[in-house]
Amino acid sequence: MTEPVRVHLRVPGTAPMPELMALLRDIEAAGFDGAGILDSQMISRDTFVVLGQAAGQTSRMSLFPAVTNPFTRHASVLAGAIQTVEEMAPGRVKFVIGTGYTSASTIGRKPATLAEMRACIGEVKTLLAGGAVDWGGGARTELAFSSKRPIPILMAASGPRAIELAGEVADGALLLVGFNRGIVERALGHLERGARRAGRRLEDLEIVWAVRTGTAATLAEARRLARPTAVHWGILRWGGQWLEPAGLRLPPLEIPDAVRQIYPDLSHAQDWDAAIRATSFVPDDVVAQLCDAMGLIGTPEHCADRIAEMTTLGVRNLYLMPFQTFVGPEQEVRAFRDVVFPRLRAAGLR
Amino acid sequence: MTAARFGIVLLPESLAGWGALCREAEDSGFDLLGVADSQSVFREMYVALTLAALNTSRVRLGPLVTNPLTRHLVVTASAVSSVDELSGGRAILGLGSGDSAISTIGAPPATLAGLEDAVVTLGRLTGGEPIDRQGRRWQVHRSARRVPVYLAAEGPRTLELAGRVADGVIAGMGLTPDVIRLSLEAIERGARASGRTLADLDVWWFAKTNVADTRREAIAPITMALAASANHAFRFTLEGKGVPPDLHERVRCLQREYDAHHHEIAGAGNAGLTDRWGLTEFLVDRFAIAGTPDDCAAQIRRAMGAGARQFISTGFVPDPRGFMRRFMGEVAKLSS
């Protein structure tokens, strides 16, 4: 049997704690390999409070903040916090850090620069390995309770330069780029370039593909529900960067102001129906193309087939990001438990 | 005289058995359970508070104390609100200018203006209020209850600030009657400035504590905690704090040698500093409730005579369980 496909799921801490813990137990029981807990201080419960509880409520799957950032907590706090969670779930914890998205935009700050990312990853890595960091001002400090057990540090990245930095400085990358052949090949090229700068190879890195995911009874309904995410990423955020490798040519579109009024933004909208309505300027055929390039959007059977297809490119590790931040991922838990995982097993991929 | 009430601060030096330790603190009769925040030395405070909340049902609990610098204010508001939700509305938020949490990363402590902003902002954010800042609207959307903010204060100006803007005070200037009176005057000045009285504030007195069969045995294990008090309470100035002038230079010497990396760690490098600079007796009198049960009760009665009612003890001893049982079983009874 080939290497199995591992599947992790994003969990936003937007539901009350008992519901969140029940959900995490269900996710583990459904066969997922891990759960990433959203770190966005305004919209989600504290990621380390949720992770601390989750450690005691699960026994097998991996846990990680998804995604933390280098500016809302000092690097020494980040290192201490992830080490604390790892003590409670030995060998099951990853540290995933990115430039900050809603964690930055909601407090009026720009995402971290790549220089800040490089510095923070270096500091956290040193502290977790038991080394001392020179903070300036005459302060040189170790983490007093480093277990020295490896905690993989993954950098979340979606642009070419960030991906290269991840390849250079992190133990792996969480790649939020899209999910078709052209995109995957292009992203791996960037990652490899970064890895080489540090004298490493792609095989030395843990590569996780962050995949926008939405299942429904029909392909058309899944695509309709995916509209805010497809339009946000494909039209507002991607620019030309991933459209070309994805093989997409979009017609010129005028973006109405209403789209930018959605809080905190189109793809994290609290009112999903309003967000869908705000995307009416984009024709269905364009949304369909974006959905196919971006993630796993369709019936559960369609998603299973697409995963199997992507394994031919070496894709083995997925992080599913269900569209909605304010609706739990229960639908995806059922779809993967009942349809996708059995189909992957039948194909020798689980 | 109203009976004394007691709280306790625990150091998350390990999370093995931590939940049970918190439960014992509650069962022993403490009304307030604080968790120390020093990210390079202790386990993550919000994870420790999560376990504390899950393992207790009555005690109020929260950071004692965190600072406004190592986490963004919205992260702090979100985290303490998460603990509040988990504990069924039992959270409090203790805030200070930053001790070892910031000195270990070479950062300067928060200014008075920074503390004032943090106290006000955190109160509003945990209450779910929107705050327009940096071109955005800060809001912790799911917050259901305003978490009371307690300001840790070791000097007249911070005590006054606490009286003016906080819900409660962790008074740390000392426990001698003259210092307690000085502290209460400062808190009251602040309270009046915001149209309140002393009675509107929940005032707790911070004490380095231990109890043993002899006074010597009680003091020896907490000399590092007394050194920490001397280092922290007098770090900006010795003026206006009721310290005899002939001790000023010795306090400064102790501060120069204090190692924040061993903050509050029993038996580590800071433990020898109080004897070396001849400050042990002064610091015990000033900051401690320590000795035999009778000694401790006498110190508590003396403080109560000057107007103190609620005491936060420190479980910074090798056997915190034994300490909690004996302190609440013997000392608390004797002092009421």
Closest listed residue to residue B302, CA positions, set B149, B155, B174: B174
> pLDDT by residue (tens digit) across B287-327?
999 999 999 999 999 999 999 999 999 988 989 999 999 99
User: What's the confidence (pLDDT) of residue B334?
Assistant: 87
- Rounded to whole angstroms, the Cα distance separating A237 from B28 reads 56
- pLDDT-derived band at A324 (thresholds 50, 70, 90) equals confident
Q: Which of B43, B86, B103 sits opposite A17 (nearest CB)?
A: B86
Q: Give B49's contacts in chain A (Cβ within 8 Å).
A: 49
Pick the residue from chain A with its C-alpha nearest to B48. Answer: A52
**Residues of the domain holding A176:** 6-215+300-346
> pLDDT by residue (tens digit) across B53-72?
999 999 999 999 999 999 99
Q: Comparing B235 with A84, which gets the higher pLDDT?
A: A84
Distances, alpha carbon A51 to alpha carbons A17, A305, B220, in Å:
11, 32, 38
pLDDT at A240 over 80: no
Domain membership of residue A17 (yes or no) is yes
Q: Among A43, A77, A88, pick the best mutation site for testing chain B contact (most B Cβ within 10 A).
A: A77
- Rounded to whole angstroms, the Cα distance separating B145 from B167 reads 14
Q: Which of B40, B48, B139 sits opposite A42 (nearest CB)?
A: B139
- pLDDT-derived band at B239 (thresholds 50, 70, 90) equals confident
Domain membership of residue A247 (yes or no) is no
Q: Give A76's contacts in chain B (Cβ within 8 Å).
A: 39-40, 70, 104-105
pLDDT at A267 over 90: no
User: What's the confidence (pLDDT) of residue B229?
Assistant: 93
Domain membership of residue A317 (yes or no) is yes
Q: Give B132's contacts in chain A (Cβ within 8 Å).
A: none
The CATH number of domain B5-214+289-335, selected from 2.60.40.10, 3.30.70.580, 3.20.20.70, 3.20.20.30: 3.20.20.30
Rg of chain A, C-alpha, whole Å: 19
Q: Do A72 and B72 touch (CB under 8 A)?
A: yes
Domain membership of residue A45 (yes or no) is yes
Pick the residue from chain B with its C-alpha nearest to A14. Answer: B142
User: What's the confidence (pLDDT) of residue A278?
Assistant: 94
Q: Which residues of B139-164 are buried (b: 16+ CB within 10 A; e: fewer)?
A: bbbbbeebbbbbbbbbbbebbbbbbb
Domain membership of residue A274 (yes or no) is no
Q: Give B51's contacts in chain A (Cβ within 8 Å).
A: 52
Domain membership of residue A342 (yes or no) is yes
User: Is residue B6 within a helix (H) or strand (E), and if so which, with residue range?
Assistant: strand B5-10
Q: Where are the alpha helices (DSSP H) in chain B?
A: 18-28, 45-54, 73-86, 100-103, 112-126, 156-165, 177-193, 215-219, 223-233, 248-257, 273-276, 280-287, 293-305, 320-326, 332-335
Strands B5-10 and B93-95: unpaired
- Rounded to whole angstroms, the Cα distance separating A56 from A54 reads 5
* A278: Cβ contacts below 8 Å, ≥ 6 apart: A228, A256, A258, A259, A261, A262, A266
pLDDT at A163 over 90: yes
From its phi and psi, is residue B263 left (phi > 0), alpha (psi between -120 and 50) or beta?
Answer: beta
- pLDDT-derived band at A238 (thresholds 50, 70, 90) equals low
Using N-to-C axis directions, what is the helix angle for B45-54 and A47-57, rounded to 10°? 50
pLDDT at B1 over 70: no
Domain membership of residue A234 (yes or no) is no
> Whole-prediction pTM value?
0.95
- pLDDT-derived band at B144 (thresholds 50, 70, 90) equals confident
DSSP state string for B10-62? E--S--TTHHHHHHHHHHHT-SEEEE---TTTSS-HHHHHHHHHHT-SSSEEE
Closest listed residue to residue A117, CA positions, set A177, A48, A170: A170
Domain membership of residue A195 (yes or no) is yes
Here the CATH number for the domain that contains residue A339 is 3.20.20.30
Count of structural domains, chain A = 1
Domain layout of chain B by residue ranges: 5-214+289-335
Q: Give A138's contacts in chain B (Cβ within 8 Å).
A: 106
> pLDDT by residue (tens digit) across A129-139?
999 999 998 89
Q: Which of B70, B141, B142 sits opposite A74 (nearest CB)?
A: B70
